Amino acid sequence: MFNTIGIISKPFDPVSEGTATELREFLEDQGIVVVNNSVIIAEQADLIIVVGGDGSILNTARTFVDNNIPILGINLGRLGFLADVSVGQMFDMVSKVLKGEYTKEERCLLCCQVEQDGQIVYQSVALNDIVINRQDALKMIEFDVYIDDKFVNNQRADGLIITTPTGSTAYALSSGGPIMHPGVNAIGLVSICPHTMSHRPLIVPGDSGIIVRIKDNSEGVSIHVDGQTSCPIVPGQEIRVRQHGSFIHLLHPKDYDYFEIIRSKLHWGSKLS
């Protein structure tokens, strides 16, 4: 089913690169064409295997989301939410994938645009979240929130997290947001330390259009995409967020259980020592 496979490793990480080399040799011994150039992956690969962790998958998802190439994550560290195949299981799992024995899961992304006077000055996509905050000072920012062109509220807070269901177990969770199952078609808005305690996390339909307008008294604001890329925002600019038009497809073992991963990562049911 998969004849050309792209392998992506974590740059400058000898463990990741060494594991990727072992995987390349394993695949080539079975007659699979292996590529690692991004342009060739986008044009020719029918599967991407990421050797790293959740951060590597976030970057890969943003890069290749519009190419409709399924992604399998090999996790080199702790149990990941996205990269759920351990190195010890790698050869066995890859062999099963080549035989068609896997579960495929669709995940949505967010599209973010920063506009000024009707012109787009920055745009990106996010698998986890888009965070609006101030990095260089312990001062709140003020902003207005609109959903589908309807005014929602004015907020003074340390920031705002706009999250996908995938990202609901990341920064949004630590800020008091709810866990959303990846199959839910929704977008979450979670305020970071709001000045008014009545500001609670808000879940809106996945096809909603969200606008955040930074007020003139808020300077030094930036947006951060998946915690990996960022862009400074000046007062008067608008941040527009909606669901991206393409999805990514994650491959998992046949016995993949989302709730088992949640239990393990969040230590549900663990006894306190």
CATH numbers and ranges of domains, the chain:
4-108+247-266 (3.40.50.10330), 110-243 (2.60.200.30)
- Under the phi-then-psi rule, with left for phi > 0, alpha for psi from -120 to 50, and beta for the rest, what region is 231? beta
Q: How do residues 40-61 score in pLDDT, each as one tens digit?
A: 999 999 999 999 999 999 999 9
Region 220-242 average pLDDT: 94
pLDDT at 79: 61
The alpha carbon of 64 is separated from its chain's Cα centroid by a whole number of angstroms, namely 13
How high is the pLDDT of residue 267? 85
Share of the chain above pLDDT 70, in %: 97
- What pLDDT, on the 0 to 100 scale, is given for residue 78? 67
d(CA 234, CA 139): 16
pLDDT in tens, 56-104: 999 999 999 999 999 999 998 766 789 889 999 999 999 999 999 999 9
Q: What is the mean pLDDT of residues 217-243?
A: 92
149 CB neighbour count, 10 Å cutoff: 7
CB 103 within 8 A of CB 137: no
d(CA 167, CA 119): 28
Which pLDDT does position 109 carry in this prediction? 98
Placement of tokens 């960022």 in the chain? 230
* 60, 62, 68, 69 alpha-carbon torsion, rounded to 10°: 0
216 is catalytic: no
Place of tokens 């012109």: 119
Site of tokens 């970071």: 192
Q: Is 15 helix (H, G, I), strand (E, B) or coil?
A: helix
Q: CA angle, 8 as apex, 124 and 29 as ends, to 5°?
A: 150
Would you tell me the crossing angle of helices 90-98 and 14-28 to the nearest 10 degrees?
40
Facing residues of 155 across strands? 143
The residue annotated as part of the active site, out of 13, 46, 54, 148, is 54
Considering only CA atoms, which of 53, 50, 52 is closest in space to residue 72? 50
Tokens 């965070």 sit at which residue? 131
Give the pLDDT score at 271: 62
Q: For residue 269, with 0-12 CB atoms within 10 Å meaning exposed, 13-18 middle and 19 or more buried, which class applies?
A: exposed
Looking only at Cα atoms, what is the longest distance across the chain?
Answer: 62
- Outline where the chain has alpha helix (H): 14-28, 38-44, 54-64, 90-98, 171-174, 258-266
Using DSSP, how many helices (H) and how many strands (E) does the chain show? 6, 19
Average pLDDT over residues 7-32: 95
Question: How many angstroms separate the CA atoms of 236 and 201, rounded?
Answer: 25
- Whether 251 has a pLDDT exceeding 70, the answer reads yes
Residue 273 has pLDDT above 70, yes or no: no
Closest C-alpha to 237, from 253, 223, 258: 223
The length of the chain is 273
Q: What is the mean pLDDT of residues 177-186?
A: 97
* pLDDT of the residue at 272: 56
Closest Cα to residue 248, out of 44, 83, 108?
108
pLDDT of residue 269: 79
